[in-house]
């Protein structure tokens, strides 16, 4: 049985990146991308809490989908997929491995789409962090974001 796979793209800046990026980064950036993969009737995504599954549109970013990309169909049975996600969640995509610029939701979506349909997500999504980091502004904010992320991660680990 074949299952549709779709990539959902969200702009976490809600249009602000497009308006302000030229002033801060020196080039227009259309959005600050968050992605999730819709498969088997669920929305699958990754963040500092690890891998999550929700009903489509009920995740942290809600129904404010910027774009939807049909990625294709998969013949991989749901139980095989969820075993695969469990392995990813216990290793490469455990919550403590999340890094905003280097290992994020978009890397996860890329991995999942490649597994399910044999093709990666669009490059403009996965290349965005590197584009920003190559600018003086990106180099300036990276240490601040990493420090804030360490603080949030240590707080989350203290709650467990």
Which position has the token pair 């996965």? 126
Predicted local confidence at residue 2, as pLDDT: 95
Q: Which of 119, 19, 6, 111 is nearest to 67 (CA)?
A: 6
pLDDT of 102 above 70: yes
Let me know if 105 is a catalytic residue.
yes
- Give the single-character DSSP code of 6: E
- Exposure class string for 32-69: b at 16+ Cβ within 10 A, else e: bbbbbbbbbebbbbbbeebbbeeebeebebeeeebeeb
Q: Which H or E element spans position 86?
A: helix 78-89
For the whole model, what pTM was predicted? 0.84
Q: Please provide the CATH number assigned to the domain covering 3-159.
A: 3.90.1720.30
Q: What is the pLDDT of residue 95?
A: 93
Q: What is the DSSP string of 38-59?
A: EETTEEEEEETTEEEEESTT-S
Q: Output the six-digit token pair for 119.
A: 């093709």
Q: Cβ distance 29 to 15 under 8 Å?
A: no
**125 pLDDT above the threshold of 60:** yes
Q: Which residues pair with 37 in a beta bridge?
A: 7, 44
Angle subtended by helix axes 16-25 and 136-159, to nearest 10: 120
- Give the pLDDT confidence of 54-89 residue by residue, as tens digits: 998 876 665 566 899 999 999 999 999 999 999 999
Which residue of the set 34, 103, 113, 151 is catalytic? 34
Question: In the chain, what are the domain boundaries?
Answer: 3-159
Identify the residue whose tokens are 């240490």. Answer: 143
- Give the model's confidence band at 158: pLDDT under 50 very low, under 70 low, under 90 confident, else very high: low
In this prediction, residue 62 carries a pLDDT of: 55
Catalytic residue among 53, 103, 105, 113: 105
Instruction: For 12-60, write each residue's pLDDT tens digit.
Output: 888 888 888 888 878 888 888 899 999 999 999 999 899 999 998 876 6
């Amino acid at each position: 049985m074949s299952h549709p796979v779709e990539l959902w793209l969200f702009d976490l800046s809600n249009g602000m990146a497009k308006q302000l990026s030229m002033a801060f980064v020196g080039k227009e950036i259309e959005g600050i991308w968050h992605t999730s993969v819709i498969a088997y009737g669920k929305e699958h995504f990754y963040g500092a809490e690890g891998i999550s599954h929700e009903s489509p549109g009920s995740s942290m970013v809600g129904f404010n989908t910027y774009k939807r990309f049909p990625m294709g169909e998969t013949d991989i049975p749901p139980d095989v997929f969820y075993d695969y996600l469990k392995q990813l969640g216990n290793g490469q995509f455990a919550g403590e491995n999340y890094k905003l610029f280097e290992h994020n939701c978009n890397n996860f979506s890329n991995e999942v789409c490649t597994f399910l349909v044999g093709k990666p997500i669009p490059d403009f999504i996965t290349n965005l962090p590197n584009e920003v980091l190559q600018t003086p502004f990106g180099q300036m904010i990276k240490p601040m974001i990493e420090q804030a992320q360490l603080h949030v991660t240590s707080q989350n680990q203290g709650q467990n």
